[in-house]
Amino acid sequence: MRREMGSVRNAALAFIVPWPSILFYIVFLKLYEPSTSEIWRWCSAHPIALVNALFFFNVNVLFWVISLLQNNTWLIDLYWTVLPVMMAHYYSSHPYSQTNLWRSRIVIILTWVWSIRLTHNYFRREEWQWGAREDWRFADMRKKYPNNWWWMSFFAVYVSQQIFLVGVCLPIYAVHNSQHPWTALDYFATLVCTVGIVFAYFADTQLYNFVQKKKLLRELGAPTKPNLEEGLWAFSRHPNYFGEQLWWWGLVIYAWNVGQGWTFLGAAVNTCCLAWVTVLVERKMVAEQYRTKEYKKYQETTSVWIPWFKLKPQIKKNLKKT
């Protein structure tokens, strides 16, 4: 009962927290005129700076205060799936927005599909509870730095997320900052984004089904497999990460096509971060004694991200030597 009440409370909280930014932007759109106050002129002339300011106050500061009160950073995990959609609509509706209608519509639709997929996976993994637990990496850091985590979390959890989220969404800004006509490269970008979303969905679904089956077998006292090595996971140790990267780099192709190639920086930073996360995940897997031997064998025969055919352990060792 207490868990259910906590979930309801967190659900209400999740719906309330973005409203300061939403209301500010609604007022801005309603009252916007080129000759209005200096702050309105600044908001209209600096869309990226404005989204960073709203992120800082409404996410970094507000989410951080809430995390201190709840002793849990769960909100940022949920909003990782929501904020890109909000930014897509922000950039598309900004007074200075200029865009190709089809490119804008397709990117917004794809962003919604990506968000629905990731949000569904989040709640499915959390057993449809709101804020039941926080990311294991942040939980580990909380234990590692018990006396300083209250202030460290502001930078490690929230400021860092601003860099990643605003950065990876820069191509969405580029799409809404150019009227460049639709070309064959846009079709390619659409294909890459779609494949990334579909690939990540099937990878996450296969992982979810494996975990659920494992739980059931343990309850029955039956033997279980230590690692998932079937389906997409037979060709990549992290196919869900691969699909996610395809999605973000697909957006970069849109931006490149409209002459805003510099926006690749956000996707590049995100890829570097995910590479480090991959290292942390694999260290955790190897550290679990019941699967250490099997996972090391899995590492020797299976590609890290990019799906590829299985290698025999000896062949992979020879390749490393050369």
- Global pTM? 0.93
- What element of type H or E holds 62? helix 62-70
The answer to whether residue 233 scores a pLDDT higher than 70 is: yes
CA separation, residue 137 to residues 75, 77, 123, 142 (Å): 14, 12, 18, 9
Q: Which residues contact 127 (CB under 8 A, 6 or more apart)?
A: none
Q: Which residues of 89-125 are buried (b: 16+ CB within 10 A; e: fewer)?
A: ebbbebeeeebbeebbebbbebbebbbebbeebbeee
pLDDT at 320: 53
The answer to whether residue 1 scores a pLDDT higher than 70 is: no
Amino acid at 262: W
Q: Choose among 114, 126, 148, 1: nearest CA to 75.
A: 126
Distance CA 56, CA 159 (A): 8
The answer to whether residue 252 scores a pLDDT higher than 80 is: yes
> What is the pLDDT averaged over residues 38-61?
91
Q: What is the per-residue pLDDT across 271-318, written as a single tens digit (0 to 9) for each?
A: 999 999 999 999 999 999 889 999 999 999 999 999 999 877 655 555
pLDDT at 35: 57
> What is the pLDDT averaged over residues 161-169?
96
As a whole-number percent, the residues of the chain with pLDDT over 90 amount to 83
pLDDT at 36: 65
pLDDT at 311: 79
Q: What is the per-residue pLDDT across 95-154, written as a single tens digit (0 to 9) for each?
A: 889 999 999 999 999 999 999 999 999 999 999 999 988 998 999 999 999 999 999 999
The answer to whether residue 201 scores a pLDDT higher than 90 is: yes
Lowest mean pLDDT of 10-24, 48-62, 171-185, 300-314, name the range. 300-314
> What is the pLDDT averaged over residues 79-96?
95
